[in-house]
Structure 1
């Protein structure tokens, strides 16, 4: 059987080990070919090929449910659930999603983009099954890195309290998140990896004890349990004490062992944890050697592993400018520390780690802890810089309010990947940070128009000690603005910048939309419309001293932002104008009340009407109509 013939995972049932190995080889070939061509996550999926095939052979996928944690490890799952022919469209507009998506397949039982969600959702399904009188199997697959997320531990704690709820948790242990795992739990799992397998320990003990003439049946059960507890204390004590039956660790690339272990695990009542040791990037030597670098890749040469180079030289990325500037500041001030939640390479803080390791902290996939730890450091006079993607900071919203803003602590939040992020889709779009942070008392919000202004805002945020402050910046490269090596001056809080003057229209843009705003003004000038352009710099506080008189004088306002319109920057400016009794037509342009699906960023911008020509066309239509307040 060829992989292309598999349209339903139940077709794996009954295949021989040689046939499964052949399918595994084909999955890796297709996986590598696709990601090399279009980019995507590489290492995670390569590491779970045998795990997926073995587990699915022991299930009836017409009834049983498998819940994956973080969808990027589920590429093999996609390839054997009817998506082989579409797999070349991975992460492309109108193509296969890079994560699990309930709308895409009936086998994607729970959407997963963020980590640490699988055990909670799987337990919910298992409880619903029991309440409805059904008996299908529920399996959660979670990576060891995801166990650093408190939600996973909360779910384990609850599941262990329900001894009559059948649930299997498969721990995919490859000793990695995106970067190297951190924390005591990771060290503990490493010890387990070096221990002998335990899956059939109690059964072997029983067979040996039966041969002893002085052991009756009552003593047999007691001795068996005691011996198992003695051994498990070295191997799976934490999980056993939390109420799980622990099995493992087992070789995650040995199909025979995996199948027999899963079959055995299905027989155990209550919650069961199967510990599977895998190699991230398995089957592609380059990815096995560099597991951090090949977690995900842009298009690359499959033979060499090298990225396909662009002929056009690019400006440095915002993340790179952020990291290099932070290092220079931190070198002169030991109080400045960088904090990341398992995203060292993505945020650029790996550079800080290499240069100033004592001023770098990776807390694992634990955004809530990162924020409250930063609050504690701020209490003691440190200058914590918390670098987290916009979409992931959502996970720490209560901590931002309760532990930082209510106490008015000087924590500096740096929100990478703010706005449209492209191929990762709705779970990763940074659409909501302006709205969800703007409403919190004591918070200051700012966004740079380019990478040079990011340098000044970084200094501004670190120097600001009156309370919390946040800076958002987009994914990708800057505009090539000249960078300063040193001597950055902080910006005055709440002060905007007038870039262009005109009497017909006021365009106020925030962050990544400032350069497009200037382009819009140039297009409009060709049609006889003279526009003033303001770089807002701050979404809170808004520079009412500059903008209220301009709005009153010009009489028509357009706001531009790369984020949700509802509660966003434009809403903030409208509120400020109303507070000052300035009633002028305001058109807010940004992301409407929709989920932005996966596509290239430029494709998403065009679909949303956020390119400069599209915005100019919309403004021209406004000028052809009677002025009215537009929302």
Structure 2
């Protein structure tokens, strides 16, 4: 406790209502203490730091002015919600962030009434806030009642079309609604596209201090009645010599930009709009990601996501790496392929660092495209590139590709375009929990006609699968790989294309065959070691492909074993389901084959270490061993003499 910051005013805050007792100067002190507490907590847990530091003053001001949980505060994505959690009765648990049985790193409805809407993906906040506003006016009455709806959305999240769909609808309905545009010029990566350019133009022409003065002048106009609605907003914008025209055309009254670290501005604006707004209002706030902590401000990613770190130096306490990450292996492999093939291009959606494409961009800047937080566009853009004769690699997290599924079906699969999907964060991912788990891509891609779906069992296989994807030029393909380090095996100098639909035999045994798809292969090998102590030697095979299946390998396993077990890091409906369908069509179940499929359970698994999450899922070596014994009809008690 001695290393924790001194926070005399924050210590008096058990909930947002306690902020009402403070004067404005005291609220500024609360914000300073809140920043120190956030830094201290994340130094112990790791997590998303920079985004939260950027909204400390904004969070304090919102909770001081509005009346949560009656007023519904919705944070887009949720990366920035740690200060919010501290102010809403969860300070005593803030050092359990992203840990087993601890606080979520995002907003979560089941965690607190102050989290009215869960979020971990971007651009949903305005739609949800509009839903709350309409529910209020229709007489909906959850236990806390319904007051105002406030959405806080970043400029990066505003690059997704869903935000504009929501704003267009909100402007049409004319419901009282507050959208706070947190313009920090940076989402996870520096934002790209016309929206960021538009926002930049709002203040690029004037020194920031002059804009602060202009905003304060506009504040002096606000107490006058708002009867003219949009006209008043337009007049204010004109007097400020900056433009909110785009937002006004969508039906919003606009005010801004204002300094998101100036408590006087924030409190004045929020109090005024709360008292006088009658329809949808957009408040444009300029903030600085990582504000108030020098190591974060100076870092290229503003400490977006950090491991545990030393508060004084900012140095992160990362465990030594024993092997390269799957992400870096993918990136280096793609670079090597692109050096040989000038038609290879790479697309990401605001995640160049997370997907490893920052390395590719450094080598091939003209062949790298970061489209912003716009996965649907990324997929169709890649389809256009493919139709135009380029070899696009669309690198997305499994859980983010879900957002572009309609485009995968209609724009890629139906047209049989050779888009290559590099699916990172496949399977269970750890501290980010269920919202970021790559649980469903095997099923939703393997169901599409003509798709080639691969999973790398180790980092060497990943190198070969990148080369395989390059060679597939007549249909769409995907290869998946997990978060974190590889197995630690030697890597080939260059990838060699794998025969499409061809698995590989790992170890030959008797009675039962384990057919793995993905990195559970290592757990199968560990399970075999456990079974060897009981006199059982299973056959182990690596499927490599969920589609097309290696039918010859599967039939060979069936012919020579009494039982077959498939193992995959995905939900029901994936690889195992396709194997079972194939075997059913072959009539092998009529001949007495014992078949089991080990998949992720039909539940969302909460945050923990990946190993612990796979324990919960029942897919680590001891559970695979138990499944073998069960299918062979051998009890654990008698297994030692079996």
TM-score normalised by the chain length of structure 2: 0.92
Specify the alignment match of 2:484 in structure 1.
476
Specify the alignment match of 1:609 in structure 2.
618
Whether the 8 Å contact between 1:421 and 1:475 is mirrored in structure 2 is yes
Aligned mates of 1:394, 1:224 — CA distance in 2: 41
Alignment of 1:32-43 (within 5 A): 32-43=39-50
Whether the 8 Å contact between 2:427 and 2:569 is mirrored in structure 1 is yes
1:271 aligns with 2:275: no
Match of 1:262 among 243, 246, 270: 270
Match of 1:287 among 296, 299, 315: 296
Match of 1:364 among 350, 369, 372: 372
Deviation at 1:71, TM superposition (A): 1.1
Alignment of 1:391-430 (within 5 A): 391-430=399-438
Whether the 8 Å contact between 1:4 and 1:85 is mirrored in structure 2 is no
Specify the alignment match of 1:579 in structure 2.
585
Moved more, 193-202 or 403-412: 193-202
1:431-473 Cα offsets, whole Å, 9 max, x none, are 1111111111111100111111101000101110120000010
Aligned mates of 1:567, 1:545 — CA distance in 2: 22
Match of 1:67 among 49, 74, 84: 74
Alignment of 1:79-228 (within 5 A): 79-132=86-139, 136-163=147-174, 165-194=175-204, 196=211, 227-228=235-236
Distance 1:550 1:190, change over 3 A: same
Match of 1:511 among 513, 518, 531: 518
Question: Secondary structure of the residue that 2:111 maps to in structure 1?
Answer: coil
Aligned mates of 1:328, 1:62 — CA distance in 2: 53
Specify the alignment match of 1:596 in structure 2.
605
Distance 1:517 1:147, change over 3 A: same
Question: Secondary structure of the residue that 1:558 maps to in structure 2?
Answer: strand
Deviation at 1:26, TM superposition (A): 2.2
Deviation at 1:301, TM superposition (A): 2.0
Aligned mates of 1:478, 1:69 — CA distance in 2: 33
Deviation at 1:332, TM superposition (A): 2.0
Aligned mates of 2:532, 2:28 — CA distance in 1: 65
Aligned mates of 1:562, 1:181 — CA distance in 2: 32
Match of 1:498 among 495, 502, 505: 505
Distance 1:325 1:100, change over 3 A: same
Moved more, 132-141 or 222-231: 222-231
Moved more, 525-534 or 103-112: 525-534
Whether the 8 Å contact between 1:389 and 1:418 is mirrored in structure 2 is yes
Coordinate RMSD, CA, aligned: 2.2
Deviation at 1:227, TM superposition (A): 4.7
Aligned mates of 2:337, 2:355 — CA distance in 1: 17
Distance 1:442 1:226, change over 3 A: closer
Specify the alignment match of 2:336 in structure 1.
328
Which ranges of structure 1 fall in alignment gaps of 5 or more residues? Answer: 209-217, 627-631
Whether the 8 Å contact between 2:222 and 2:272 is mirrored in structure 1 is no
Specify the alignment match of 1:538 in structure 2.
545
Deviation at 1:224, TM superposition (A): 6.9
Deviation at 1:228, TM superposition (A): 4.5
1:100-136 Cα offsets, whole Å, 9 max, x none, are 1000000100000000000000001101111118872
Moved more, 334-343 or 124-133: 124-133
Deviation at 1:608, TM superposition (A): 2.0
Moved more, 63-72 or 299-308: 299-308
Whether the 8 Å contact between 2:290 and 2:302 is mirrored in structure 1 is no
Whether the 8 Å contact between 1:423 and 1:600 is mirrored in structure 2 is yes
Whether the 8 Å contact between 2:511 and 2:560 is mirrored in structure 1 is no
Aligned mates of 1:74, 1:193 — CA distance in 2: 26
Whether the 8 Å contact between 2:41 and 2:94 is mirrored in structure 1 is yes
Specify the alignment match of 1:215 in structure 2.
none
Aligned mates of 1:610, 1:281 — CA distance in 2: 39
1:301 aligns with 2:310: yes
Whether the 8 Å contact between 1:378 and 1:384 is mirrored in structure 2 is yes
Question: Secondary structure of the residue that 2:569 maps to in structure 1?
Answer: strand
Aligned mates of 1:222, 1:46 — CA distance in 2: 33
Question: Secondary structure of the residue that 1:72 maps to in structure 2?
Answer: coil
Specify the alignment match of 2:638 in structure 1.
none
Question: Secondary structure of the residue that 2:466 maps to in structure 1?
Answer: helix
Deviation at 1:609, TM superposition (A): 2.0
Specify the alignment match of 2:3 in structure 1.
none
Alignment of 1:231-246 (within 5 A): 231=239, 234-246=242-254
Question: Secondary structure of the residue that 1:499 maps to in structure 2?
Answer: strand
Deviation at 1:617, TM superposition (A): 2.6
1:556 aligns with 2:563: yes
Specify the alignment match of 1:373 in structure 2.
381
Q: What number of residue pairs does the alignment pair up?
A: 612
Aligned mates of 2:229, 2:170 — CA distance in 1: 25
Specify the alignment match of 1:212 in structure 2.
none
Aligned mates of 2:317, 2:403 — CA distance in 1: 35
Aligned mates of 1:97, 1:240 — CA distance in 2: 36
